[in-house]
Structure 1
Amino acid sequence: MKSTLLNMTAVLFGITLVASAGVGAVNMITAEPIAKAEQAAKVAALNGVLPAFDETSSEVLTIDEMPVTVYTATKGGAIAGYAVESMTKKGFGGAINMMVGFSPAGEVINVNVLKQTETPGLGTKMADKENVLLNSIQGQKLEDKKLVDGKLAVTKDGGDVDALTAATISSRAYVDAINRAWMAYKSVATGVTPTDVSSGATSAAGQTEEPAGQKGGEHE
């Protein structure tokens, strides 16, 4: 019995060792392609919201306890624009990630929605080219918009950003992420101290946003 138990233990140990080695080998093989794919996606996202540039430098900020990365793009040594990788947790289907491009003067160049799980045919339209949300801000300085408490807002909330039809929650989430990107852009471009978009308190204060309850379907 003792001999059998030892043999079984040795066999199990051997199987575990081989399996672990196999997993490690697969990770080594796939890690580089995954990293290259992620880098390619990042470059594509930057190219989609910025004019031509030679290189970028990045700075990571924390706003509403969420990471926001600002990429300063330069061409010929001069600033070509700023791209901000922003996010919100207020989407109808969860988190929404996007890349927002700003000109050196502060106009919104373009917005690329990188990740969203909104309602198909409703909230997902935020990722369409020339959707009403983007059309409400593209080519404009956000400080010239109709602001509510210093922030962008959809028309239903007193602002002038047109919402997606039957997708008010998704539209509000989109605007929330844009506001966070705008705050991050201003921080890097002009030195304005970043504030928590949801509360207006400084980021250093460690304020957190309380996601609103989301009951029922998308609605106007």
Structure 2
Amino acid sequence: MAQKESTFFNMTLTLFVVTFVAATVLGFVHDLTKVDIALAKQQAQQKAIESVLPAFDTLGESYKMLPEDSSDSLEFFPAYDANQKLVGVAVKTYTKNGFSGLISIMAGFSPEGTITGFEVLEHKETPGLGSKMNAWFKDENKPGQNIIGKSPATSKFEVKKDGGDVDAITASTITSRAFLEAVVRAHKTYQNAQEQPAISNNPTKAGGQS
């Protein structure tokens, strides 16, 4: 009986030591990499902002606004030229109605509300189908798909199956609806924000395009 208790104790002690060492190593690795991960995300965001807007000299301070149809805020990044004139605003928008849930997008708008570009930041849509949205909706050779240079104020940003003006991704209507929903959410919130002081504030140097 004593031998069984000793064996059980040894097994428990070994398991505890292994678990403790593993947890310590994981914690160390996390602390070691979290700064690099945060920096990589920041660089990816900066690259997305630059890609969806016309050339700019400075970025103003970012700010958040709550859409009328959601409890989650959108983040705005106003961009200015060398004369501190607003050239556009990048909006980090989203939808939770993708085929596989969340789709996060960086959408760029001119001061008049025209879409200057977009980049899909995050999604889990089906490879080869919904995953094509980043290229599908900016194809210059397909006017029915391409939303660049258009505005939800003058075009109906819904798929044609629902009476809109945009061709859905083949076999990916749900993804297409969700993508357009995210863009429209960004546009509506941007329109509501245009009269807010946040956009007209003096810009703060935060990087730009050469």
Q: TM-score, normalised by structure 1?
A: 0.71
Distance of 2:163 and 2:195 partners within structure 1 = 27
| Structure 2 unaligned regions, length at least 5 | 197-210
Q: Secondary structure at the match of 2:30?
A: helix
Distance of 2:143 and 2:72 partners within structure 1 = 22
Whether 1:188 and 2:193 are equivalent positions in the alignment is yes
Closer/same/farther in 2, CA of residues 186 and 10 from structure 1, 3 Å limit: same
Instruction: Give matches, 1:105-116, under 5 Å.
Output: 105-116=112-123
Distance of 1:90 and 1:65 partners within structure 2 = 15
**Partner in structure 2 of residue 207 of structure 1:** none
Whether 1:27 and 2:30 are equivalent positions in the alignment is yes
Distance of 2:192 and 2:53 partners within structure 1 = 18
Closer/same/farther in 2, CA of residues 122 and 13 from structure 1, 3 Å limit: closer
Closer/same/farther in 2, CA of residues 16 and 162 from structure 1, 3 Å limit: closer
When the two structures are aligned, how many residues end up with a matched partner? 185
Whether 1:69 and 2:75 are equivalent positions in the alignment is yes
Deviation at 1:21, TM superposition (A): 4.8
Whether 1:141 and 2:151 are equivalent positions in the alignment is yes
Deviation at 1:61, TM superposition (A): 2.2
**Partner in structure 1 of residue 62 of structure 2:** 58
Contact 1:84 1:184 in 2 (8 A): no
The root-mean-square deviation of aligned C-alpha atoms, in Å, is 2.8
**Partner in structure 1 of residue 162 of structure 2:** 157
Deviation at 1:117, TM superposition (A): 1.7
Write the deviation string for residues 10-68 of structure 1: whole angstroms up to 9, x where unpaired. 99888777665544432332122111111111111111101222223211223312331
Letter in 2 for 1:28: D
Letter in 2 for 1:118: E
Distance of 2:107 and 2:74 partners within structure 1 = 11
Closer/same/farther in 2, CA of residues 153 and 26 from structure 1, 3 Å limit: same
Deviation at 1:171, TM superposition (A): 1.0
**Partner in structure 2 of residue 176 of structure 1:** 181
**Partner in structure 2 of residue 125 of structure 1:** 132
Structure 1, 80-89 or 112-121: larger mean CA deviation: 112-121
Write the deviation string for residues 182-209 of structure 1: whole angstroms up to 9, x where unpaired. 1121122234xxxxxxxxxxxxxxxxxx
Closer/same/farther in 2, CA of residues 38 and 158 from structure 1, 3 Å limit: same
Contact 2:107 2:119 in 1 (8 A): yes
Letter in 2 for 1:111: F
| Structure 1 unaligned regions, length at least 5 | 192-220
Contact 1:110 1:134 in 2 (8 A): no
Closer/same/farther in 2, CA of residues 9 and 86 from structure 1, 3 Å limit: same
Q: TM-score, normalised by structure 2?
A: 0.74
Structure 1, 90-99 or 47-56: larger mean CA deviation: 47-56
Write the deviation string for residues 126-182 of structure 1: whole angstroms up to 9, x where unpaired. 12163459844211232111x4xxxx3221112212211221111111111111111
